[in-house]
Amino acid sequence: MLASRGPALGTALRRAAPGGPFASIHCSARRRRPARVAVVLSGCGVYDGTEIHEASAILVHLSRGGAEVQMYAPDVPQMHVIDHSKGQPAEAESRNVLVESARIARGKIASLAKLTTADHDAVIFPGGFGAAKNLSTFAVDGKDCKVNREVERVLKDFHKAGKPIGLCCISPVLAAKVLSGAEVTVGHEEEEGGKWPYAGTAGAIKELGGKHCVKEVTEAHVDTKNKVVTTPAFMCETELHNIFDGIGAM
């Protein structure tokens, strides 16, 4: 993601000019300080939390780029718990988003309430249904959804500071809801025989006030005005390496 060629979020960090929105990062780069990136998780497991493969891909690309990463999650109950072996709700269970996200972070995680723009150069939101269930109510309420208060604050703060925001899979709906007119991608707008099973999300993004841009799974879209970078990830039914490459492009 921050490699020397190609990746969009890394390019945004590197293209800072003195006096511009990335001036502080530009100066830091001359001091050879690693980019400091926040990653916001939503639980652990695709159907009720963070998509683990996406989170891992993000962390690998950031590590390869030399970034310093801190993970965060909201300290709130999950909407529900899904038995991933059956794909059904586990009615008797209740779990906490921060506690579950700590599994992915290997324990090194902080409450989202502690995330500030002063400490980070960029923020990234992996996908997974947790983004639509725990970071927002999109899974239930669609275009009328509400976004978690801390998630909304983080998105607005990074946007106001002119710092890059990365989102993949379903999480671009968060930017579409919070940042009016933001350009994002969740891939294609037609299911195409099941290759893009969540293609209807593109229409919801437009209803939320965002602009949807069609992209392939290995591509990323860069909204240069809002510093929002998105990629489809598992919105597409495809091989894992394509997901990894798309996140690398982001």
Cite the active site residues: 169
Instruction: Quickly tell me which residue has 């598992």 as its tokens.
Output: 234
Of 114, 174, 110, the C-alpha closest to 138 is 174
**8 A C-beta contact, residue 66 and residue 34:** yes
At 158, list the tokens: 């990074």
What's the angle, vertex CA 47, arms to CA 227 and CA 98, rounded to 5? 70
Report the DSSP beta bridge partners of residue 229: 166, 222
Element (H, E) at 211: strand 211-212
Write phi, then psi, for 196 (nearest 5 degrees): -120, 75
Give the separation between CA 138 and CA 123, rounded to whole angstroms.
20
Helices (H), the chain: 8-14, 23-30, 52-64, 97-104, 130-133, 138-141, 149-161, 172-178, 200-207, 240-249
**8 A C-beta contact, residue 2 and residue 35:** yes
Give the separation between CA 134 and CA 82, rounded to whole angstroms.
13
Give the separation between CA 73 and CA 134, rounded to whole angstroms.
10
Give the separation between CA 185 and CA 165, rounded to whole angstroms.
13
